[in-house]
Structure 1
Amino acid sequence: MISNGLSGLMGLGFAPLSFLLTTPFWETLYLNGQLSEPLFSFYLERYINQPLINSSPGGILTLGGTNSSLYQGSIEYTNLTFAPSFWILNVSSITVQGKAISVPTSSNLAVIDTANTLIGAPTSMISDIWAQVPGSMALNGSYTGLYAFPCNTSITVSMSFGGTDWDISPVDMNRWRL
């Protein structure tokens, strides 16, 4: 029986983020030399317009390496920005619809988190990003912070954390499909 409001979620952050103040499973394996490489990787399944999600695992976590059947291209290794807690990286560039968006060095941090699909940024930067998407508009009320755009608009976005521009799929820029 799990108590204290824990849900059984296996965190991929570092020990300082642990609710129980314990070393995470993946880090314990690493510290005990039980990983073939000091790596872990994950693949997240995409479910869009699928009424039932019964036929696939939802994602795959690989401890001690990568699963090359789940990605294409090369892996870019980047140093973490702060002492281990969250997986925090510097964003060096963002391009939207082919136009570079200014990334101020005072607010260029990104947290990589498998439990969250949102990208946070200063309000001025968010406005600059969505200004590149024709017909987009800021929402309000309980949707404050989100934007809407015409259904027939395909949004192209890429981000760089050091050298490689990583494309974000247009389907991942749309939270709800109607």
Structure 2
Amino acid sequence: MNLRVIILLFCLIVLVEGKVHRFRLQRRSHRHHKVPHAHLHLQFRNALRRKFGYTPLRTVNAVNPTSGDKGGVVLTETLKNSYDTNFYGDVSTGEQSFTMQFDTGSSDFWVPSSHCKFCKKCGNKFFRESHSKTFQTDKIPFTITYGSGSVKGIVASDDVAFGDLKIQKQGIGLVNISDSCSDFDGICGLAFQPLSMTGSTPVFQQMIDQKLVEKPIFSFHLKSGSSDGGSMILGGSNSSLYYGPLTYTNVTEARYWTFKMDFVEVHGKGSRRCEGGCKAIMDTGTSLIVGPVLDILSINNAIGAQHNATFDLYTVDCSTITQLPVIVFGIGDKEFYVKPHTYVIVYQDFCYSGFMDMRGLTFWIIGDVFLRENYVEFDWGRQRIGIAPAV
């Protein structure tokens, strides 16, 4: 069984005029499409629980591109889509190129080091200290846990570049130990400073401080169904990528991108959850939509999904996808929709629901299932999230 495909399946990570830089990406091959073994799905669940501060389980139970007068650029990075569950692009550090997942659910920037034997076995690129003239480190240790696993290493600093946009002396993590493979080399965290495990200033805060971006805003336009994953825009938004105006909701806790969600319901089924509002996190580093057990059970029952005890997920009859109802999300007094061809993940003749529960979770994690239907702007300066239906 191909471990890289397994981790891909469950990992929880345009064209504009003006000052725009584009990136050339290479697709990695995936020859196997096998359903993961149950114990690997449990590992994924446990890692996700650790990422959001819950004790792991021991058993499984049933940019508008304008020319600004403040300097800086609006940069668009083309993203690669891997099975509608991973979105990543190229970034360089110490003038060495890496594929990075852009994760609003974490705050650290890390790449594999030359000492990470497991990373090399996974086929990931690794950082060579001797190849960088700007590398520095005090060898302070760190540990970070994600939905896809955990990493350990030392804190360092080096220049980090997105095309011609170069951050000087960015705090980075050099990973020496990892417990899982992924289709990308490292992670670029886009959440706030208090969430940093390396104690480093987050990448986007550095862009603002060093006056590299036109506006203190970044945006995501994710695509489904092909290797073209859409784009990430640094320094602004692109109004040609969404319909109507953006609806804004304030960040309620500047660690994750936390906000108040009004409700979630299955259209026409009378199964509204999160009634009266609840806490939610917008997380580009999580593939699915994760919520409290009873809420997810209600939604999956309403769409006719059946619990599969072997894999501890909800499967869907692939032949019924076109007949399934739309899921409605209430945010900022507006309604946003996710269609069944987006919330059902398809692997050959195996289809499963993009709504996953997590025991003990009292809030919602809004991942790529939502972002593949809706354009999302992350306004760092005003600490708010803007949402509109994506083109």
Structure 2 residue runs of 5 or longer lacking an equivalent are: 1-126, 129-173, 179-184, 350-391
Which TM-score applies when normalising by structure 1?
0.80
- What do residues 69-94 of structure 1 show as CA deviations (whole Å, max 9, x unaligned)? 22222111111121x11111222111
Q: Provide the residue aligned with 1:65 in structure 2.
A: 236
Q: Provide the residue aligned with 1:92 in structure 2.
A: 262
* 1:1-178 equivalences in 2 (<5 Å): 1=127, 3-5=174-176, 7-47=185-225, 50=226, 53=227, 56=228, 58-82=229-253, 84-98=254-268, 99-103=270-274, 108-133=278-303, 135-141=304-310, 143-144=311-312, 146-151=313-318, 152=320, 153-177=323-347, 178=349
The alignment partner of 1:77 has SS state of: strand
The alignment partner of 2:342 has SS state of: helix
- What do residues 5-31 of structure 1 show as CA deviations (whole Å, max 9, x unaligned)? 484321111123334221122121223
- What do residues 52-109 of structure 1 show as CA deviations (whole Å, max 9, x unaligned)? x3xx3x2311112101222222111111121x1111122211120323513156x822
Aligned equivalents of 2:316, 2:204: Cα separation in 1: 40
Which TM-score applies when normalising by structure 2?
0.39
Aligned equivalents of 1:79, 1:90: Cα separation in 2: 8
The alignment partner of 1:131 has SS state of: helix
Aligned equivalents of 1:155, 1:139: Cα separation in 2: 21
Native 8 Å contact 1:15 1:23 kept in 2:
yes
Runs of 4+ with >6 A deviation: none
Alignment RMSD, CA only?
2.3
More strand by share: 2
Aligned equivalents of 1:93, 1:119: Cα separation in 2: 14
Q: CA deviation at 1:121?
A: 1.6
| Larger Cα-atom Rg | 2
After superposing the two structures, state which structure 1 stretch, 112-121 or 3-12, moved more.
Answer: 3-12
The alignment partner of 1:9 has SS state of: strand
Greater RCO, 1 or 2 (C-alpha within 8 Å, sep 6+) = 2
* Aligned residue identity for 1:63: L
Aligned equivalents of 2:271, 2:296: Cα separation in 1: 13
- What is the percent sequence identity of the aligned residues? 28
* Aligned residue identity for 2:255: S
The alignment partner of 2:189 has SS state of: coil
After superposing the two structures, state which structure 1 stretch, 17-26 or 72-81, moved more.
Answer: 17-26
Aligned equivalents of 2:299, 2:186: Cα separation in 1: 37
Aligned equivalents of 1:17, 1:172: Cα separation in 2: 30
* Aligned residue identity for 2:220: F
The alignment covers a number of residue pairs equal to 166
Structure 1 residue runs of 5 or longer lacking an equivalent are: none
The alignment partner of 1:125 has SS state of: helix
Q: CA deviation at 1:124?
A: 1.3
Q: CA deviation at 1:160?
A: 1.5
Native 8 Å contact 1:97 1:132 kept in 2:
no
* Aligned residue identity for 1:79: N
Native 8 Å contact 1:14 1:86 kept in 2:
yes
Native 8 Å contact 1:88 1:109 kept in 2:
yes
